[in-house]
Amino acid sequence: MRGESRAGRSGLGERGSVLLATVFVVVAVAGLLLAFTQIGVSFTREHTAKHASDQALALADSGLSESLVAMRRGGTGRVGTEAIPARFGDGVFWTEAEDIGNAVRLVHSAAMYESGRVALEMIVFHYGTSPFDVAIFSDEALTIASNVLIDSFDPANGTYQDQLDASGESHLDDGAVVMSNSDIDLASNTEIYGDVHAGYDSELVTSGTADISGITEPMVADRAIPLVPVPTYPASGDLIVNTPGSMLAPGDYSFTTLTVMGGASLTVQGPANIVIDEWSLLSNSDLILDTAGGPIRFYVTGTADLNSNSDIITTGESAADVTLYFMGGPGQEVSIDSNSDFHGVIYAPEADIEISSNFELFGAIIAGQLTLNSNVQIHFDESLAITSPEDELYVSGHVSQAAFPVAEFLSNRRSPFTLLGVTPADLPSPEAAHDN
């Protein structure tokens, strides 16, 4: 009997040990399950919070884009308000646009999506829609050599030189705008009194002591420059000028070639429209553009070579009176070696233009690709720009994260609709929320 009792007790001990081990395993597994559950809950919360933050960021970015659209349509740039924001899907946003001077606006966009809260700021600069609202534009790379001066002036206040002499300065206004859809390369000692904007995903490269007085934010989209149709006139063959004092009366002309030989001069009287296949001004020749009777327009469809020591003399002071259209298409080459003081506009949206040293332009240049060699001076004629609000072009620049404008919304992470006490269906769409 005692032996059986000990055996029974031994069996009970073994079963107790197994039960205790099982309890430990169960407790351990339960602990692991609890830990994994907590990790899962934490991960879910973090994932949900990140998703909400990402969605709010996307909404804030959409708000900036919507504000830009609103301004381009003539609105103020404000879209929705804090009390009645614009609704987009399951989130909301509102924007404010502040005019901070110097043709610059600061746009602030705030967005909420579930618990997400994000605010962004964007710089917006605006110019006229005329292609001549900038001093220089190049569709491709823009190269500016050393000792180039670019500024602006208002011809309503007198000639550039008279204003410069009266100011006692080395330049006049800082309203020049230099743009490219591609890279901009500035050499040493270049002075630009105004804004410089390289293209989207392109670079502004400066070397030495290049000096820029204005904004240098890149553009966020390419700027389109329209082609200009070349008029058709009865063909007049070749015009080769061999003597001084030659005259071309007002009218419309079409020449296969127009060449002014060395020592010769040609005076063109406006109004005149002149279509040329090939254009040459040889060294020591003069082309005099007399705009007293009306404007003069050249349309060049082939090569143009304006040699060194040739002069293009404009009798008027207004850049709007003379336009040189180079409309030969991609690959057209234009070489301007003339030592002229030229009042006018050079418009060559697809041509490669190289302007040699000592050329001085009072007006504007639009080119497919542009190279300015050393000591060139460009004085933007401010009268070319269209500045009425309904004609302005708005181009966005730098975007950065900003402080959320309503602190209490940061501490209260409820749904934005609950927080604002509104029904989603009652909120306006982004387009309907524009402040016009």
Q: What is the CATH number of the domain that holds 91?
A: 3.30.1300.30
Interval 57-77 mean pLDDT: 87
Q: What is the mean pLDDT of residues 153-158?
A: 90
Q: Which residue has the higher pLDDT, 337 or 325?
A: 325
Q: What is the pLDDT of residue 22?
A: 61
Instruction: Evaluate whether 183 touches 93 at the Cβ level (below 8 Å).
Output: no
Residue 80 lies in a domain: yes
∠ CA 9-12-18, nearest 5°, is 145
Distance CA 49, CA 61 (A): 18
Domain shared by 244 and 173, yes or no: yes
The answer on 210 and 349 residing in a single domain is yes
Pairing of strands 377-381, 91-101: unpaired
Amino acid 43: pLDDT: 46
Asked if residue 429 belongs to a domain, the reply is no
Residue 328 lies in a domain: yes
Residue 20, pLDDT score: 62
Range of the domain at 179: 136-384
Q: What's the pLDDT band for 387 if we cut at 50, 70, 90?
A: very low
Residue 435 lies in a domain: no
The answer on 236 and 99 residing in a single domain is no
Q: Does position 238 have pLDDT exceeding 90, yes or no?
A: yes
User: Mean pLDDT, to the nearest integer, of 128-149?
Assistant: 85
Q: Are residues 216 and 351 in the same domain?
A: yes
Q: Establish if 131 belongs to a structural domain.
A: no
C-alpha angle 310/351/272, rounded to 5°? 55
**pLDDT tens for each residue of 390-417:** 445 566 666 788 899 998 898 898 899 9
Return the pLDDT at 131.
Answer: 66
Distance, in Å, from the CA atom of 253 to the CA atom of 272, rounded to the nearest integer, reads 8
- Please indicate, yes or no, whether residues 98 and 43 belong to a single structural domain of this protein: yes
- The answer to whether residue 208 scores a pLDDT higher than 80 is no
In a domain, 432, yes or no: no
27 with 166, same domain: the answer is: no
Q: pLDDT at residue 109 above 90?
A: yes
Final residue before a domain boundary, out of 384, 410, 431: 384
**Tally of domains within the chain:** 2
Separation between Cα atoms, residue 346 and residue 100, nearest integer Å = 32
Are both 64 and 202 inside the same structural domain?
Answer: no
- When comparing pLDDT for 356 and 338, which is higher? 356
Residue 73 lies in a domain: yes
Predicted confidence at residue 316, as pLDDT, reads 85
Residue 279 and residue 252 in one domain = yes
Residue 37 makes CB contacts below 8 A (sequence gap 6+) with none
Judgement on whether residues 223 and 184 belong to the same structural domain of the protein: yes
Which residues is 248 bridged to in the sheet? 268
> pTM higher than 0.85, yes or no?
no
State what percent of residues in the chain have pLDDT above 90. Answer: 50
Residue 389: its pLDDT value, please?
Answer: 45
Q: Are residues 212 and 110 in the same domain?
A: no
Handedness of CA 385, 391, 397, 401 (dihedral sign): positive
Do 79 and 157 share a domain, yes or no? no
pLDDT, residue 30, reads: 56
Domain membership of residue 30 (yes or no) is yes
More confident residue, 2 or 253: 253
Tell me how long the chain is.
436
pLDDT at 102 over 60: no
**C-alpha closest to that of 286 among 255, 307, 264, 319:** 264
Q: 185 and 309: one domain?
A: yes
